[in-house]
Amino acid sequence: GISHRLQRISPTDRLKYKDVIIPPNTSVGMSSALIHHDEGIFPQSHEFIPDRWTDINERRRLNKYLVAFSKGSRQCIGMNLAFAELYMAVAVVFRKYDMDLHDTTVDDVKLHSDMMLPHAKKGSKGVRVVLQPAQELN
């Protein structure tokens, strides 16, 4: 997905961030990748912890910071279609195949640079998996 800086400008109002006053018409950028890995918001952000979303109050808090599709008036209008496609694709793949990681390390997927698109370190082959037909469940 896109990881570039999402620019925002307040044309008339001064903004305050902590002890910093930001004058009107000043470009302020944020990156979804940096927000999603802010340990103050998402502790253990590099770990798969689906239970962090089970408590309704915690889910409400975390949803404020889930900005993969941006937020507000510039939010991606195709977000719900993207989620529907993702749910269907993931369901089909996991139903039909068992997967094992092959020759992949954390360094192969860790965000190394961000030039409009996220990039792993140079020479990374990305996530590689071995697919085998799924075992039938009885």
- The predicted structure's pLDDT at residue 100: 93
Contact 49, 14 (CB under 8 A): no
Q: Look over the chain and give the mean of its residue pLDDT values, rounded to a whole number.
A: 88
Q: Percentage of residues in the chain with pLDDT exceeding 70? A: 93
The domain segmentation of the chain, as residue ranges, is 1-66
Mean pLDDT of 11-23: 92
- Model-level pTM greater than 0.85? no
Segment among 93-97, 115-119, 130-134 with least mean pLDDT: 115-119
> Does the annotation list 76 as a binding residue?
yes
Q: What is the SS3 assignment for 44?
A: coil
Query: What pLDDT does residue 50 have?
Result: 94
